[in-house]
Amino acid sequence: MINATGNPQRIVLFGGTSEIGLAIVAQYLAQAPAHVVLAIRPDSPRRRAARDQVEAWGATSVRLVDFDAAAVADHPAVVERVWADGDVDLAVLAFGQLGEAERLWHDQPRLVDFMNVNLTGAVSLGALLSQRLAGQGQGQIIVLSSVAGEVVRRSNFVYGSAKAGLDAFFRQLGEALRGSGVHVLVARPGMVRSKMTAGLKAAPLTLDPDQAAAQIVAAAQRGQTLVWVPGAFRWVMLALKHLPAPLFRRLPL
Ligand SMILES: NC(=O)c1ccc[n+]([C@@H]2O[C@H](COP(=O)([O-])OP(=O)(O)OC[C@H]3O[C@@H](n4cnc5c(N)ncnc54)[C@H](OP(=O)(O)O)[C@@H]3O)[C@@H](O)[C@H]2O)c1
């Protein structure tokens, strides 16, 4: 159960090596111990380090479950394994790939693989998790969307369109779950310094993973359904969204 102060007793992180995802887990563990399941690609070189970190942060237990976002046919079995030790209170979906739009839209098989990870994989898991959590009568989902999905840019339109789809699905999944005891928080960060953005020029309002995680966890504990990270992006994106296309096209985005 999530206790009165908003602390879950069992957390699963899909994309168990994600720097933002791990920072979210760290925030919760700093408040109260919890059992943690890390759902990670079997061939990720970061599996051991992620487990060691979560143990060092004081998790009551840490268990690894193999998980490939693109292997949607395996998702029901993955969810079964995640639930093997009992109810899960919080599921964090933090997997994703940034990709290069130019390369992807010229290469159909790669494009489809990319969408299977970033969009179809997330949607598939969202549906399965919702059923499990609603069956328990309680629980929370935090999903990592992006400001890139709110205003999709030419330079990043493949990633942006995957996030737009993910964002729309989870926003309305939260509505569909109203009254079930299950809450969905869609987090829309701007740029965060993680391995996903390593080597890229820092954009305005760039945060570290722990800064982003602190804002996301605070929003989850307040019961919000949407959080911009940082909050200023709400207004930046509102302005960008309403720019006429010829003007928007000229921006260095
Ligand atoms: N960093 C940013 O600026 C930013 C901004 C907005 C939103 N986000 C979103 O936040 C989430 C976390 O990103 P991050 O910054 O923490 O990046 P990250 O550290 O690179 O984490 C990405 C995670 O996705 C996992 N992953 C990739 N492909 C996968 C697959 N096929 N199956 C399962 N897991 C897979 C990676 O696992 P491996 O260890 O196997 O590679 C890794 O755990 C992502 O959804 C990202 O789109 C990031």
- Per-residue pLDDT tens over the stretch 146-199: 999 999 999 999 999 999 999 999 999 999 999 999 999 999 999 999 999 999
* Sequence-ordered alpha helix ranges (H) in 19-156: 19-31, 47-56, 75-82, 101-105, 108-115, 121-136
What is residue 4's predicted lDDT score, i.e. its pLDDT?
65
130 Cβ closer than 6 Å to some ligand 1 atom: no
187 Cβ closer than 6 Å to some ligand 1 atom: no
Which has the closest alpha carbon to 144: 3, 15, 9, 232? 15
118 Cβ closer than 6 Å to some ligand 1 atom: no
Q: Is residue 245 within 8 Å of 30, Cβ to Cβ? A: no
What is residue 5's predicted lDDT score, i.e. its pLDDT?
67
Give the tens place of pLDDT for each residue, 61-109: 999 999 999 999 999 999 999 999 999 999 999 999 999 999 999 999 9
Q: How confident is the model at residue 117 (pLDDT cuts 50, 70, 90)?
A: very high
| Mutational pocket test of ligand 1: of 41, 44, 68, 151, the residue with most ligand atoms within 8 Å of the beta carbon | 41
* 28 counts as catalytic: no
Q: What is the CATH number of the domain that holds 69?
A: 3.40.50.720
Structural domain of residue 208, as residue ranges?
A: 10-250
Q: Which long-range contacts (CB under 8 A, 24 or more apart) does 162-171 make?
A: 162/114, 162/115, 162/118, 162/119, 163/118, 165/119, 165/123, 166/118, 166/119, 166/122, 166/123, 169/122, 169/123, 169/126, 170/122, 170/126, 170/141, 170/143, 170/145, 171/225, 171/226
70 Cβ closer than 6 Å to some ligand 1 atom: yes
Nearest CA to ligand 1 atom 9: 144
- In this predicted structure, the answer to whether residue 120 has a pLDDT above a threshold of 80 is yes
Catalytic residue among 57, 159, 228, 233: 159
27 Cβ closer than 6 Å to some ligand 1 atom: no
Q: How confident is the model at residue 200 (pLDDT cuts 50, 70, 90)?
A: very high
What is residue 253's predicted lDDT score, i.e. its pLDDT?
77
Expressed in angstroms, the distance from the first to the final Cα of the chain is: 43
pTM assigned to the model: 0.97
The stretch 121-145 carries a mean pLDDT of 98
Nearest CA to ligand 1 atom 18: 18
What is residue 2's predicted lDDT score, i.e. its pLDDT?
73
Q: Look at residue 3 and tell me if it is in a domain.
A: no
96 Cβ closer than 6 Å to some ligand 1 atom: yes
3-class secondary structure for 154-212?
HHHHHHHHHHHHHHHHHHHHHHHCCCCCEEEEEEEECCECCHHHCCCCCCCCCECHHHH
Q: Is residue 170 within 8 Å of 185, Cβ to Cβ? A: no
| Mutational pocket test of ligand 1: of 47, 95, 153, the residue with most ligand atoms within 8 Å of the beta carbon | 95
Give distance in angstroms: CA of 15 to centre of ligand 1: 6
Question: CA torsion angle for 210, 215, 220, 225 (degrees, to 10)?
Answer: -130
What is residue 198's predicted lDDT score, i.e. its pLDDT?
95
Q: Look at residue 39 and tell me if it is in a domain.
A: yes
What is residue 51's predicted lDDT score, i.e. its pLDDT?
98
Q: At what angle do helices 19-31 and 47-56 cross, to 10 degrees?
A: 20
Interior angle at CA 112, CA 237 and CA 75, nearest 5? 90
Structural domain tally of the chain? Answer: 1
Instruction: Please report, for residues 4, 32, 159, 178, 198, the alpha-carbon distance to residue 194 in angstroms, rounded to integers and kept in the order given.
Output: 32, 25, 16, 33, 6
Q: Look at residue 4 and tell me if it is in a domain.
A: no
Residue 230: phi and psi, rounded to 5, are -80, 170
93 Cβ closer than 6 Å to some ligand 1 atom: no
| Mutational pocket test of ligand 1: of 18, 44, 112, the residue with most ligand atoms within 8 Å of the beta carbon | 18
Q: Look at residue 72 and tell me if it is in a domain.
A: yes
Give distance in angstroms: CA of 159 to centre of ligand 1: 12
Report the relative pairing of strands 10-14 and 35-40 from DSSP bridges.
parallel
Q: Is residue 11 within 8 Å of 140, Cβ to Cβ? A: no
Which has the closest alpha carbon to 208: 195, 224, 218, 222? 195
194 Cβ closer than 6 Å to some ligand 1 atom: yes
- Percentage, residues of the chain above pLDDT 90: 91
The stretch 124-137 carries a mean pLDDT of 98
Give the tens place of pLDDT for each residue, 210-242: 999 999 999 999 999 999 999 999 999 999 999
